[in-house]
Structure 1
Amino acid sequence: MKIPHLRASLIFVSPAIASHAFYVGKHLTADGSVLLGGTGEEVSSHWLQIFPAADHPPNATIEVGVTEDAVMPGTRMNISQVPHTFRYLSMEYSDYEGFPAPLTNGGVNEKGVAVRDVWADNRPELVDMTPNPQQGLQYSDLARVVLERASTAREGVEIIGQLIAEYGYADYGGNSHFIADKDEGWVVWEMSGGQKLWAAERIGPDEVRVSYPGYIKDFPVDFADSEDYMGSPNIVPFAVEQGWWNPNGSEPFNIFNVYGYNLDGYTARDGGFKYMSQAALENATLAMVPVSEQDLIERVRDYRISDDEAGYGQVVSLRADMDPDVIRVWVAPTGSVTAPFNPWWLGVQEVPPEYGEHRYLTDGASSSFLNPDYQYQEATYFAGRRFKQVLYYTCSDPETFLPVVQRMLNGFENASRSGMGWVEQSAQTLIDHGQRQNALDLLTFYARTRANEAMELGRTIVDALDAYVKLTGEFRRPKGTEINDAGLGAETVNCLVGFDPDQPSWRQPPSPSRRRRRS
């Protein structure tokens, strides 16, 4: 989720929505996998897409960067494409002002490299010194090129560093990426300011890390000699030049303290953002050790995280023994508090039209007619819309409906999980015997079947809740005249019980970061 900094002259408001990323090292998981999960929190439409591997001609380029319409204006540019790009799966989305669609927060590629994009504020001075117009790769560009090009998490970090050094970085006020493979994870923090600043920290097999926002704390000044840290050559000298860190003082070089947006009473891990801090989420995850896929799904689904602002949920397992086509990722088509996670594999040949791009919440849909090329796809039901309906009815009375709905979702996922073992084993056997296409057909059949059954489950839930609410007289018509909220700091639909947004005990801290709500 992108939360743009507003210029210092504008009022500072709280980051009401922002993506989460969860990392669990392989020594802490139930089956020895590295687990990476999280939410993508944007207003706009989301759809599942599988991008095939591709060969590109000499001198091929890709367009990157932001436009003059961005909160921090920029100009687009073309950069060189590599000769070959990898197959990958991601949830795409349609809109963020000045960041041309399609956009991605990341996904997983055929090499077993997974990426999550998460906001990470910078101090206002960095925002103020950002060139106008700015140039370089933006958050979605960086996530996509890592998926297209990286064979390991470490290589993904190196690619980000190389591209920023060569072309620059265009942003909205600071951002981070979590990159993981079968062995380790990396947090990469890209900085505003037009100085090509970035820093990265390795997260090992015995660690749990939650980014919300992404953070890096103590950082060695001699990081070039370390296997656990990377960064731009100027990450330390620039801080000294600006007077943000004294090399002769007693304080260690701390990326959050030096480059982050600091507010009294808040730290890198514990700031009260939204309803659970990073520390609270990390502790809740550690309490589940050994952590399974199902456990991480529970964390991502937590109603203190997943609500109307969550565009989708995702959990991926990364193991050394996985054939590229059998790399598995669980995806919820919208906020997973009331939507099922469906299993997908990189070997799946196509995504059902119900999970593809639709006009619901897609940028420009309200001011244009449908492109005839999409008329069949648009005629289908849309998973994102259906499970939004489940969300809105469920959260109208969460104490009554949420336990029932989530028990159904858990039951559905358990059924998917119970069939998954023989499907994956059969697919691997077919691959081992030279029948890869048959294996891909099997994976596609099972994924599509469960996805279609999820749609039927959604319709059943919506119909049941609709009948209950209306027959019991609980249906309420709107009192106001505006169907859209106020945008800045307004409450959104959620299933929180026992939280009072008017009480300061849990109110979010002010911040210079704020996104425009995506459409």
Structure 2
Amino acid sequence: MLQALTLTSLLASPVAASYAFYVGKNLTADGSVMVGGTGEEVSSHWLQLFPARDHAANATITVGVTKDATIPGELIEIPQVKHTFRYMSMEYSDFEGFPAPLTNGGLNEKGVAVRDVWADNRQELIDMTPTPQHGLQYSDLARVVMERASTAREGVKIIGNLIAKYGEATYGGNSHLIADKDEGWIVWEMAGGEGLWAAQRLGPNEVKVLYPGYIEDFPVDFTHSKDFMGSDNIVSFAVEQGWWSSDSGEPFNIFNVYGPQDSRYTARDGGYKYMSQAALENATLAMAPVTEEDLIERVRDYRIDDDESGYGQFVSLRSGIDRDLLRMWIAPTGSVAAPFVPWWMGVQSIPPEFGEHRYLTTGASGSFLNPDYQYQEASVFAGRVFKRILYYMCSAPNTYLPIVTKMFESFEKQSRAQVSDWVEKSARVLISHGQREAAQKLLTFYSHTRAADALQMGNTMAQSLDAYIKLTGQWQDPKGSEINDAGEGAETVNCLVGYDPDQPADRQKNASKRGSYRRGSRARKQRI
């Protein structure tokens, strides 16, 4: 895990805005499509189940952004569909002007997985975005896909149709990765208020890492292709603006036309963190045939996973999986400091320790607890427990990182063996004999038990690190007077404390003052 990989040229402030990994089914050990990623927001994160629901004919949903968003907007109501699917998602609470709860995506009962990833646009598009803006924002689109899509391709069409009909509310450009058992799709939604979007299919022999999301060469006659989709004006608008011409001899390249106009950036190497998209894609491809264990290693890589990572997530999608046995592995905070626990679509509940708590939740510092949540808040919060491990571990990563990582890997190896040897076999037998509810209870029992085991391990690790550091005289009181960072340009807690992983970490401490370029400020802040 600690071997060096190609690093980005750190030309810009890193971005806190989520990763997504895609591995095609011909490149995986079990023939599944694999999707992994992180959610990178300051906010609290919690796991939540959303049951399938039937809705009244006049039901609506509220979408969009408020006047407090970076690009101000107004919320609107749009019709809800008659029936929405069951899905599972990591939720979070904080993005200025974007009403909580928010989601980067998750997994639904049809086996459609969604990831939301930032994708900046050229400044002209941001400047021409009308205010107040109206339409579905990134979280709305991810949630609607989980509620309504039976395939990844259908999810793309849902996004396109909704943008065409109701518009899109943006913070400066965004993308989604949508996948099912057969394929994946990248959907890039553009700022500007013109309903611009483009989508590219990812096939069985591809690896793709989005950070940010990107699409490159795109056919001008895409309506005749099964591998591309887009808004009717995605080509013509670029021509009208003088951003591309067929006479130029250059291919129509979505990133070059609609992405940031800065020579320091390419689609696959933006210089945002220690690892470029190209380096991560190559590292993943080198693992083929990729196993679930391999994808965990990529998502957990300490060169990209740090205090900005709110959680870790991955899913394997393949044919023949019963809807209740669709499984998602989730780490309750950044997976460099937390183990992955399996959760099935058939589980009936989430334990309170992994549900919503006030830690890092918007408004918690200026209000008292809603009495309805007093039991929930009285429980231990898994996200906070594993954050303690991150902070202690990253204080001396050469010493603690290998130990902590080995414990997580051993825990997950045990989980995988139990899932394969008896949990899913037993659940399949119960379902085949018409005992679906019993299968759901079994899956719920195992997920709850394993989550409790993970939490107990986390508490023990945090307490042990706390005691060891204090008893050995390593404790250091803070030198400053402000517990919160200074925003963009401030250092982020991480276990790679310098730019070069070939050097011992203890020689690099504080060598890097990494910027924090958060999602909410992209549209108004210039990169350095």
| TM-score when normalising by structure 1 | 0.95
| 2:118–2:173 Cα contact (<8 Å) kept | yes
Distance 1:238 1:83 in 2: 35
Indicate the SS of the match to 2:229. Answer: strand
Task: Give how far 1:149 is off.
Answer: 0.1
- Would the alpha carbon gap of residues 504 and 403 (structure 1) be closer, same or farther in structure 2, given more than 3 Å must change? closer
State the match for 1:494 in structure 2: 494
Post-superposition CA distance 1:183-203 (Å, at most 9, x none) = 000000000000000000000
The equivalent residue for 1:151 is 150
Q: Residue 344 of structure 1 corresponds to which residue in structure 2?
A: 343
Partner of 2:455: 455
**8 Å contact kept, 2:324–2:344:** yes
Q: CA deviation at 1:506?
A: 9.8
SS of aligned partner of 1:427: helix
- Helix, strand or coil: the match of 2:34? strand
CA distance in 2, matches of 1:227, 1:505: 45
Q: SS where residue 91 of structure 1 aligns?
A: strand
Q: Which runs of structure 2 are paired with 1:31-430 in the superposition (5 Å)?
A: 31-421=30-420, 422-430=422-430
Deviation string 1:397-441 (CA, Å, 9 cap, x unpaired) is 000000000000111111111110110011011001100000000
Aligned partner of residue 26 in structure 2, secondary structure: helix
Structure 1 ranges of 4+ moved more than 3 A: 500-513
Deviation at 1:71, TM superposition (A): 0.5
1:235 alignment partner, SS class: coil
Deviation at 1:15, TM superposition (A): 4.0
Structure 2 unaligned regions, length at least 5: 1-10, 500-507
Give CA-to-partner distance per residue, 1:79-125, whole Å, 9 cap, x none. 00000000000000011000000000000000000000000000000
The C-alpha deviation readout for 1:160-206, integer Å capped at 9, x for no partner, is: 00000000000100000000000000000000000000000000000
Displacement of 1:14 after TM fit?
A: 2.6
1:182, 1:318 within 8 Å by CA — same for their partners in 2?
Answer: yes
**Aligned residue pairs: how many?**
506
The 2-side partners of 1:45 and 1:37 are apart by: 20
- Taking the aligned partners of 1:469 and 1:142, their CA distance within structure 2 comes to 45
CA distance in 2, matches of 1:132, 1:497: 41
**Cα shift at 1:247:** 1.5
What is the CA distance between 1:262 and its match in structure 2? 2.8
Secondary structure of the residue aligned to 2:103 is: strand
Q: String of CA shifts for 1:238-282, please: whole Å, max 9, x gaps.
A: 000000001211100000000001321321001221110000000
Residue equivalent to 1:20: 19
Q: Secondary structure at the match of 1:59?
A: coil
Which residue is equivalent to 1:8? Answer: none
**SS in structure 2 of the partner of residue 104 of structure 1:** strand
In 1, the alpha carbon distance for the partners of 2:324 and 2:125 equals 43
- 8 Å CA contact 1:38, 1:314 repeated in 2: yes
In the alignment, structure 1 residue 514 sits paired with structure 2 residue 514: no
* CA–CA distance in structure 2, aligned partners of residues 138 and 510 of structure 1: 17
Task: Give the secondary-structure state (helix, strand or coil) at the position aligned to 1:280.
Answer: helix
2:503 matched residue in structure 1: none
Aligned pairs for 1:430-469 (under 5 A) are 430-469=430-469
1:59 is displaced (CA, Å) by 1.1
**1:351-392 C-alpha deviation (Å, 9 max, x unpaired):** 000000000000000000000000001000000000000000
Q: Is there any run of 5+ residues in structure 1 with no aligned partner, and where?
A: 1-11
What corresponds to 2:504 in structure 1?
Answer: none
Distance 1:359-1:507 versus aligned 2 partners, 3 A rule: closer
Cα distance, 1:51 vs. partner?
0.4
Amino acid at match of 1:49: Q
* TM-superposed deviation, 1:489: 2.1
Asked if the contact 1:13–1:513 (Cα under 8 Å) also holds between the matched residues in 2, the reply is no
Name the CA shift for 1:261/1:113 in 2 (closer, same or farther; >3 Å): same
Contact 1:14 1:510 in 2 (8 A): no
